[in-house]
Structure 1
């Protein structure tokens, strides 16, 4: 993979803010021609630097007004048990993010549900009905202070 230069980082910074920006607007923001920006974007996508380009929705606007952060501790941590839990979390629509972490718990989940009843149903399906879940700890989000997945990038060399 070619190392990222200053222009790559500038382009990445801009597309993280707005992936729908036209090549002309992107070029004006970073100081390159539209063709050069398009060529660099293609390379960054092909190399996997840009993994996906998605729309960020308002959970409340689509009926998922409750955001929950859950720390999950497994009973057994052998690879097959970890892989099985990871697969279940990938398949669960409610789970927006799932991290395998160090510390007291094994996983941290961020999920959205319409209400507490839906969260209780989720816990029954994925925690109580799963013999390998030793315990889980729930935190309900009161205010979305900052939400994003943008990766900070230095733009100076």
Structure 2
């Protein structure tokens, strides 16, 4: 990877809909050269996926919650089972297996406190391996990004 690749990545990271022509004008390469580089970056896994970022509030998901979860048992089987449940939970935007006080840190988006309470019942209280969890309700989304560059 060179400086041109990094510049292309920075631009695409901000707007995945930029055309090869638009990118070529920004980085000083021909459109075919940009397309070739993009293909290589996708094929190598540097670009994992290109997605649309949706507005949770405009879709009725007004509440964002950060949840720290501590498991009772941490065997591979128990960890994998919890990870699988979080991947399948539609309310969970992000799930991190972490070091520190909590085993997992979740970003959860729900319509309201009632839906969050239902989520906790299904995924925490009804789950025998969840020892405890701590909830922080987000007051303001100051910065939300998956940018790397």
Verify same fold: TM over 0.5. yes
State the 4+ residue runs in structure 1 displaced beyond 4 angstroms.
none
Q: For the residues of structure 2 that align with 1:120 and 1:37, how far apart are their CA atoms?
A: 48
Q: For the residues of structure 2 that align with 1:68 and 1:13, how far apart are their CA atoms?
A: 29
For 1:70, which of 67, 70, 95 is the aligned residue? 67
Q: Deviations over 1:33-90 (max 9, x none)?
A: 1111110001111111111101111110001000000000000000000000000000
Cross-structure match for 1:19: 16
Q: Secondary structure at the match of 1:13?
A: helix
Q: For the residues of structure 1 that align with 2:55 and 2:17, how far apart are their CA atoms?
A: 18
Deviation at 1:8, TM superposition (A): 0.9
Unaligned runs of 5+ in 2: none
Q: Deviations over 1:101-126 (max 9, x none)?
A: 00010000001000000000000000
**CA RMSD across the alignment:** 0.6
For 1:5, which of 2, 6, 14 is the aligned residue? 2
TM-score, scaled to structure 1: 0.94
